[in-house]
Structure 1
């Protein structure tokens, strides 16, 4: 279940890198914005006694709107001005965007934590032996599988997806063939932002939504995409499973090493596969 959450959180990050070759440091802030938007919309809905099933749709809808709006504005106002420059420059730009969004969150929603646990507890629990688990976890698992399957099918079987794969392979040649690369870049960053926001919104009922929650996401999601191979969807899935399994074992047998074991896995993988387990083959340009 932790792996499913990690995969959903890392999906937008690996998509943006795969297409635009940007290590998006602001990904955690987009995740936090989705969580805040979900709580902000669902809280009054639940307080007024409306259908609890409608709260799940509202969580996703709020994340879609917030992620698409913030992603579009960030790409249009900031990122597109730096395309074609050194990757380090883009990394610093997204770090600056991260700082701006973190302060923006505090200006809009304040510094007090928000909670909306009703959707989390409404679905009840299931038991495995003597252990009890909330059924809401299946919502996150199901959405992670659905998001991964839809994105994979889109890239493989649709005309737009095949054009996007052409942009990934060689943006210069794609542009000479008449593909509007700038439009694909904007759409990719927007979709990646939406995926991050949806991950935050679906996580919001399980935690206390507070400033700084986006920072906590950066380390495990970057570990996932680095282990799997930057830009690889199958790699992100496998990386999430590895990190999720190792973390769960650490929580049970070695709680104080919960975060440290993630670095151990990443170091071991990079020692034998420096570009990750599923790193795409890069064509050598002459």
Structure 2
């Protein structure tokens, strides 16, 4: 049974306005320890989707992997029984929530490899506004190492090209290779210089295990490396879909490459994207 927690209405409105919000001490040590155990399993047995990126030889690595919840029981328990799906429903203002996938992110001590500025929804074959991620650290995260969000960017009309984490180069449009795609959105480059020169306010927090950052899939974000000489920055980021989320097409190979057998326009609910929470 999904666990529920008390959330103040003003915090929900902050999410709706800014596209990202920190919620303190919402996961008990039980869930933090369980997720940490699941992350260790994933690090020991990466999937075909995993990456291990290093900026310079001899430095720490930035590891990421996803779509392993079907075999990592700790992740499955967290998805179906922790407060995560209730939080997603509350902040998205959705009557029903399905689970999209989980994403493990680990920056080892001494990792200078950064996470490039991007927004997530352009990578995914998902359209809709009730779409969010829960970024849950299992290690203390100082403010200077935490992910940064461009406040209010989920409300911008622009869609941005997804970028490869290894090279920070834009994805290639398939139409340039003669392939047809139904996605008619106009994608543009991320305004990196404007972001980094302070045109818009940035949100960034110090986090402790048990805290969670909830953010919209269109909120532009990036993250520094991990300058600590001893502490990992291990995070489980889970992706959640609400009432209006439907399968879509993109003009490139989507990441992760899963569609649940659905057709474009169909609601993103199926065995691959199971309903986890329903207010009724």
User: Could you tell me the TM-score, scaled by structure 1's length?
Assistant: 0.24
Please state which structure has a larger fraction of its residues in helix. Answer: 1
User: Could you tell me the TM-score, scaled by structure 2's length?
Assistant: 0.25
Larger Rg: 1
